[in-house]
Structure 1
Amino acid sequence: MNTVVSSYLRSAKSIDLGGTGFFRLVGLLAGACANFAVIAILSRDYGVEYYAFYALMASMLNLLPFADFGIGATMVNATADYRSGALDRMSFQSHFRRASLVTVLVSLAVASLAFLLYQMGLWVPILGAVGEMNHASALATVVIISAAVGIPLGLGSRILQGCGKMRVVVTAALIGPIIQLIVIVVCWTTHAPAYLFVLAPCAGYLAVGFLTLALALRSISGDEGSLIGWSLTSPVRVRIAETAVPFFLISIGMVVGFQSHRLLISTFGTVEDVAQYSVVAQFAGPLLAILGVMGQNLWSRYRERFRIGTLRVREFAQHIVLLGTVGAVFALALIVISYPGIRFVSGGSLVVPLATVLAGSVYILVVSVHQPAAMFLMDPRGLWVQVLCVWLSGLVGMVLAISLIPELGPAALYLGISAGMVVLQVIPCIYISTRRISSMEKAVETGVAV
């Protein structure tokens, strides 16, 4: 028993499971502190309507989840290959230059669109009631331009991820809520107008982007001098589309199948169902975020180990058990914390059925078990498998959820998506991953090149 436990502990340490998860948790707590501070200040000193203004503007920073068109995934793979020797220096430079060019062009296009909307006065109808408030159009433009600038800066976190340094990524992200808190305090102590508080999340967002890019360039350069040139021409032909296109399609599929829950419950359920689902999602979101960064820590490690022929099925299975165990702990935490927590926070005005909390816990467990296979299948061949699995599981999950909402309410969303994932995503991806790793093991044993 002790030998088995020690083996799993060594495996967890080798992929930095605990450190990455811990710093991600610290970052989430710091972000929560910044949010609580701005809620208290704006709602108390300026009025609830100004917090609504702030909340809408801040949420717009996350409106471009896949604006890099999957280029970030290309940089993760290129960096991992460069670090393992599969790519030479010139090829890596070519990948970076092409990725930089595409993301800068996208950034300019998004920023230009935001400015055009401002010049034409179109932000007012887009923002609705908030658009009528003073400086709303100008602030919306600033927020979207900040998000646009963050698109090429996001390559930094992808390069660090390709280096196997997810802990550095989540640690660097701590500067975001710190900068945000500083700006909030400065605005508060100087009695600045309420609309200027919106600059706080923008400043934090950009600070993280610049810091991670600087750390990435320093990390990848090493002792050989700068590896990054700024010439847009290169003698090496790179095909970033073979990774970027399927990853982009996966990102869209995730939004369609897994991020449209509130719209579904609003259409086929009741207002109470929307409230119950949303409050459980608030508790489940941070837990899923921690699981996400733990899983991403495997991406570059799997790619390198598979390429050199040292990845083993037993190790892969250990990672499934490890992430599944973490998921089980998180699922239990959701039940223990959220069920009484919701009653306390809402003062008893919002009662969430236990079935909804249990269904959310099942979803967390399913997501955790899926992480290793999802991170292994990140080569072009594996990504196309995931495109099919994500879209099928998402659509089937939506159909199941819609059919179950009248009877189960918000629990139907979690159960429908979970069932679709298990049958059409988790099992197929684990099976395919295991087969590929097993084939690689046999090839290594027989002396065949991997």
Structure 2
Amino acid sequence: MPGYALFALATTLTALLPLGDLGAGAAVVNAMARSRDGDREPLRRAITSGARALMCAGALIAAVGIVPACLGVWTPLLGHTGQPGADSCVAVAFALFGCGLPLGLGKSVLIALNRAHVALMLQGAGSVFALLLLLTAAAVHAPSAAFVASGFLAQCAVGVLCLVLGSRLLGMPLLRLIADSVRRRQPRARIRHLAVPMVVINAGSAVAYATDRLVLSHVADPTNVAVYSAGAQLFAPVIGLISVAGMPLWTLFAHQRESQDEPSRRDLLRLTAHFAAGGLVAAVSVVLLGPTVGTWMMHGRIQVGADLMAAFAALLFVQAINYPVSMWLTDAAGLRFQAVRVSIMAAANLALSIPLARLIGAPGPVIGSVVAFTAAVFVPSLRKALSHA
């Protein structure tokens, strides 16, 4: 149990870094919308700018993980979950995560090309690859760091595959373009007006969700961290599927903005209703199947309760119905508005999660997320989108 708690915490600590993709994804999608008559120069410049920023950020992230690990700082920071080998686990996680940052541009390119479903399939293949690496590590009794590395190595492999596929679709050598981005003479685009609010949004989301395990590790016991992680493993692929369904709207709305053909209030309400229906089906499935599947995944050693899965289901539903609105608010002004709302949500969520985790354990931070997201993000964003549609 403590070993799994360490694995779960080490593999998610990188999500605490408030960097995300530094707005490169937004810049790539909007640059693709501006590309006309086969002119790929705006896209080339956006990819170059994003890749340079992500490579610098990746090097910084690797240092953030490795330097404290060499000083033995991570073990006490992990609270009850800290144990021998924790420093090496965190160092490996941060180093590989940093290496994978610029490779993640491949997914943004596929989304801009309306190939989000392809990115999802490659991500699924990456999960299978990660599982094979985990089984291999278990077979040879590898140290904990090898288990932590498996998922990040799979993410890097998926990023390379996405870039290779994107290169073929665009007729553009993306891997070489990313490698050459560090050269100062390469032409770049201005992406700050999109990147800054996206960084704030990513940072707010990281504080709101990625701190849940850390909060539990300090105010509860390792069992609660393990139970939460088991429920989150079921929540993550479902919300990922809904995210993939919503991503094409970003490209659609970006093209509509360039053609001055904004969606109407009726369009937004219709799309929101569709995502609400899909989110409701997914949420009911999580409640009905989650406790049994989660407990089976843990070989019966821990019990995943219906209360935890009900909380995850509520979070799944409210995030699902917010997707059309959040994708519509992806111009510069809309991203700035979302950045403010997500920052408020992050503060409210953390303030709620600590006492709720202390009071009811694993479901507490999830309930805090539901309340904070609904009040601070969804309701204001829907009101703003409908008022301008």
User: Which entry has the higher C-alpha Rg, 1 or 2?
Assistant: 1
Equivalent residue number for residue 76 of structure 1: 29
Per-residue Cα deviation, 1:241-290 (whole angstroms, up to 9, x for no partner): 11111110111111223333345567777888767655544433332222
Equivalent residue number for residue 162 of structure 2: 212
Structure 1 residue 296: Cα displacement: 2.1
Structure 1 residue 377: Cα displacement: 0.8
Closer, same or farther in 2 for the Cα pair 1:212/1:322, shift >3 Å? same
Check if 1:326 corresponds to 2:278: yes
What TM-score do you get using the length of structure 1 for normalisation?
Answer: 0.69
Matched residues in 1 for 2:224 and 2:4: separation? 25
Decide whether the 8 Å contact of 1:400 with 1:416 is kept in 2.
Answer: yes
Instruction: Pick which of 199-208 and 98-107 moved more.
Output: 199-208
Instruction: Pick which of 245-254 and 195-204 moved more.
Output: 195-204
Closer, same or farther in 2 for the Cα pair 1:232/1:80, shift >3 Å? farther
Structure 1 residue 300: Cα displacement: 1.2
Per-residue Cα deviation, 1:11-41 (whole angstroms, up to 9, x for no partner): xxxxxxxxxxxxxxxxxxxxxxxxxxxxxxx
Identity value in percent: 22
Instruction: Pick which of 63-72 and 361-370 moved more.
Output: 63-72
Instruction: Pick which of 263-272 and 163-172 moved more.
Output: 263-272
Check if 1:166 corresponds to 2:116: yes
Structure 1 residue 414: Cα displacement: 4.1
Matched residues in 2 for 1:348 and 1:410: separation? 16
Q: 3-state DSSP class of the match of 2:185?
A: coil
Equivalent residue number for residue 144 of structure 1: 94
Give the letter aligned to residue 126 of structure 1: W
Check if 1:246 corresponds to 2:201: no
Report the number of matched residues. 378
Gaps of 5+ in 2: none
Report matched runs for 1:6-17 at 5 Å: none
Instruction: Pick which of 175-184 and 98-107 moved more.
Output: 175-184
Matched residues in 1 for 2:363 and 2:98: separation? 36
Closer, same or farther in 2 for the Cα pair 1:102/1:414, shift >3 Å? closer
Decide whether the 8 Å contact of 2:341 with 2:376 is kept in 1.
Answer: yes
Per-residue Cα deviation, 1:353-372 (whole angstroms, up to 9, x for no partner): x5554443322211111011
Equivalent residue number for residue 90 of structure 1: 41
Per-residue Cα deviation, 1:399-422 (whole angstroms, up to 9, x for no partner): 556677788776554444333333
Per-residue Cα deviation, 1:280-324 (whole angstroms, up to 9, x for no partner): 444333322222222223211211123224453233322211111
Equivalent residue number for residue 126 of structure 1: 74
Check if 1:101 corresponds to 2:60: no
Decide whether the 8 Å contact of 1:257 with 1:395 is kept in 2.
Answer: yes
Closer, same or farther in 2 for the Cα pair 1:264/1:104, shift >3 Å? closer
What TM-score do you get using the length of structure 2 for normalisation?
Answer: 0.78
Gaps of 5+ in 1: 1-47, 438-450
Closer, same or farther in 2 for the Cα pair 1:144/1:269, shift >3 Å? closer
Decide whether the 8 Å contact of 1:97 with 1:232 is kept in 2.
Answer: no
Equivalent residue number for residue 155 of structure 1: 105
Give the letter aligned to residue 287 of structure 1: V
Check if 1:375 corresponds to 2:327: yes
- The match for 2:206 among 232, 241, 255 is 255
Structure 1 residue 332: Cα displacement: 0.8
Give the letter aligned to residue 74 of structure 2: I
Decide whether the 8 Å contact of 1:104 with 1:152 is kept in 2.
Answer: yes
